[in-house]
Amino acid sequence: MTPNFLLPAPLQDLWLWLIEPLSFLFMRQAIAIGFLLGILSAVVGSYLILQEMGMMSGVISHAVLPGILIAFFLEINSLMEGISLYSLTLLPGQLAVICATVAISYMMRKLMFS
């Protein structure tokens, strides 16, 4: 793919080198997902800070790690064939995040109202 505008030869080679990864579908999807994740993280983070739940963002980001570790340790991905490794690895992580969020919310309510 050549650019529609004229560039000096060294810059044209650099341009082609920079856009070459975009010829792969997974790279275009990764850029789109990264863009959407950036927007969603900003919205959720702003909401948590405005609700004075800044600690919750740390809980969410750190609780997913033990869930993923447990998934790899128990080899959950080898139990079911035909399902992608990505979805089976994230499921325990998501469950860990939900459990940690509920537990921290419960503790915050008990500490604030007692």
Q: List, for residues 15-38, the tens digit of each pLDDT value.
A: 888 899 999 998 888 899 889 989
Please tell me the predicted confidence (pLDDT) of residue 20. Answer: 92
**67-71, long-range: CB < 8 A, 24+ apart:** 67/92, 67/93, 67/94, 67/95, 67/96, 67/97, 68/92, 68/93, 70/96
Please tell me the predicted confidence (pLDDT) of residue 35. Answer: 92
Q: Are 92 and 67 a contacting pair, CB within 8 Å?
A: yes
pLDDT tier, 2 (very low <50, low <70, confident <90, very high otherwise): low
Please tell me the predicted confidence (pLDDT) of residue 23. Answer: 92
Please tell me the predicted confidence (pLDDT) of residue 60. Answer: 78
- Max CA pair span of the chain: 71
pLDDT in tens, 55-88: 777 777 788 888 777 777 776 655 555 555 555 5
E strand map for 43-109: none
Q: Could you tell me the two tokens for 91?
A: 């499921």
Please tell me the predicted confidence (pLDDT) of residue 85. Answer: 55
